A and B are shown apart, each in its own frame.
Chain A
Amino acid sequence: MITFTIRLADLNIGIEARYDSTRRFTQAYMTDGCPDFCISVSDSDLESERRHQNDQCRRCGEPSVRYSDEYYEILAVYRHIADRIPAYNTILFHGSAVAVDGEAYLFTASSGTGKSTHTRLWRELLGDRAMMINDDKPLLKCTEGGIFACGTPWDGKHRLSTNMIVPVKAICALERGRENRITRMPFADIYPVLLRQTYRPTDREMLFRTLSCLDRMKDTVAFWQLACNMDAEAARVSYTAMKEDQS
């Protein structure tokens, strides 16, 4: 077994893994610090990830694919982290998170809707001012003082992430549309989307903690709904509205 510690969302996480590929995958987040908590991966965890992947393929109507145990271990490590980390007021969120001028903007939607495409348009619009925090599954640290988007190496197929922690200004639910239109949303209306896109631990206490984290978003994050196409104009519409919003 290989043991190492990584630092995510201001927490040191000890990992006991079978494959060095897992250690290399998390290299950019390695730390010498003492772990706040530790996780290890078992055979049944790998089998469980294989089943999850097959279930996902079945739901999408795609043929199931057999990946390597090395890949399943990488998935299993993040699932273990996601299961434990609500104890530290941190949750796993499905979205593409981009930082601009020190503020994070998250775009969330079902897979394939165009989150990554949209944050790519932001990068094309804003150049070096836009940095990807995490293109797929950032951690969100939910404090009383605000919500912070945290980079992690589990950053999607384009491998876009930065080891950074940035306060979240806005979360935007994205859907495809012919015309680009953005609308400010009250927390109550966006809540079902937030819940759907947040990892839900199967432990009761951790699930309560997860819901409490979502509640903390209400007073510090602005929520939006964006219908958009893939034109550059879509980024101008969303950026202008979300950046200028001062409420």
Chain B
Amino acid sequence: MKLKGDFILHETDGKTIMLNVDGKAYNGLIQLNGTAADMVRLLQKGTTKEDLIRDMLYLYDVSEEQLTIDADKLLSALKTIDVIDEDD
């Protein structure tokens, strides 16, 4: 599972924004909280949902259940705008 296209993450005014470099995969602006930004960094390299949650457990002192909810929410949002390649 990986992001389609080349995205950059940029911190501005206390938030993280996600932008597609050439605008071909997605032309809009995505605003992420801290947890989502770290998940996106893992998705940029390519991962599975299970590995994503396992890696996030190292970074965050929260329950696996909560991280699963957060991951599902993020993945659903990214799938809605068709920027996730699930076969990769």
Contacts and interface: CB of A to CB of B under 8 A. Distances in A.
Contact of A207 (B13, B15, B19, B29): B19
A208 B13 contact: no
Contacts of B19: 195, 200, 207, 211
Interface string A181-210: 000000110011001100010111001100
Size category of the A interface is 10 to 19
Contacts of A215: 12-13
Interface in B1-46: 6, 8, 10, 12-15, 17, 19, 21-23, 29
Given A192-B29, A202-B21, A208 B6 contact: no
A188 B11 CA distance: 12
A79 interface: no
Size category of the B interface is 10 to 19
Nearest to A186: B13
Contacts of A202: 21-23
State the main secondary structure of chain A at its contact with B. Answer: helix
Contacts of A191: 12-13, 17
A208 B23 contact: no
A208 to B, nearest CB: 6
Contacts of A203: 21
Contacts of A192: 29
Interface of A: 187-188, 191-192, 195-196, 200, 202-204, 207-208, 211, 214-215, 218
